[in-house]
Amino acid sequence: MTREELTAFVLEQVPDMKAGTNKQFPECIVNAEQINPLAKALKENAITKMDYLFCETAADRKDGFHMVYHLTSSVHKHNLMLKVILTDKVNPSIPTVSDVWHAAEFYEREIFDLFGIRFENHPNLKRIFLEDDWIGYPLRKDYKDDFILER
């Protein structure tokens, strides 16, 4: 499917989706509660067949946490980028997509560990790299600890 067709497909599923400005991949910005049904639709529909989530990550930006999903199809080879902006910077939370793509279970544990974003209905949400009693979430911009070097 082309860029336009993919964006049109997402628009059909989520009428209030906003198109992003990314030049490389078609980018769709959706709301947090829409991500899980949209993910299921993108994976299960034969014309999109987005079965391979090759990257899921977050970024701490001024307007909130950006959750970014990079998807591709192993059959049709087309790519898509989904974005969710979480405006709550203290207790951000978003439904999991680990029931759609298994790979997401571990990406989400990493995001939880480093950003402190909670994934609702995640089967095993705990820290993956840091110790369980670690205080704070290091990849947040406001993170401070006693050993951090100021540059």
Partner 1 sequence: MEETLVDIDFKEKEEYIINMGPQHPSTHGVLRFETCLQGEKVKYIIPHCGYIHRGIEKMSESLTYPQLLHLTDRMDYLSAHINNEAVALCVENAMEVEVSDRVKYIRTILAELSRIASHQLWWSAFGMDLGALTTFFYGLRDREKILDIFEETTGSRLIQSFITPGGLMADIHPNFQRRVKEFITYFRKKLPEYDQLLTGNVIFRERTMGIGYMSKEDAIDFAVTGPSGRGSGFQCDVRKIAPYSAYPFVQFNEITYTEGDTYHRYLVRMKEMWESLNILEQLVDNIPQGEIMLNLKAIKAPKGEYYQRVETARGELGVYIVSDGAPSPARIKYRSPNFSNLFIINKISANHKIADLVAISGSLDLVIPDIDR
Q: Which residues contact 60 (CB under 8 A, 6 or more apart)?
A: 115, 139, 140, 141
**Greatest extent of the chain over all pairs of C-alpha atoms, in Å:** 52
Site string for partner 1, 87-116 (x = CB under 8 A): --------------xxx-xx---x---x--
Instruction: Report H helices in 22-145.
Output: 35-44, 103-115
* CB of 97 vs partner 1, minimal distance in Å: 12
- From CA 123, how far away is CA 108, in angstroms rounded? 11
What interhelical angle do 35-44 and 3-13 show, nearest 10?
130
Beta bridge partners of 59: 66
- Number of residues in contact with partner 1 under rule CB under 8 A: 35
Site string for partner 1, 42-81 (x = CB under 8 A): ---------xxxxx-x-xxx----x-x-x---x--x---x
* CB of 145 vs partner 1, minimal distance in Å: 11
Q: State which residue, 15 or 133, has the beta carbon closest to partner 1.
A: 133
Binding site for partner 1 (CB under 8 A): 21-25, 51-55, 57, 59-61, 66, 68, 70, 74, 77, 81, 101-103, 105-106, 110, 114, 127-131, 138-139, 151
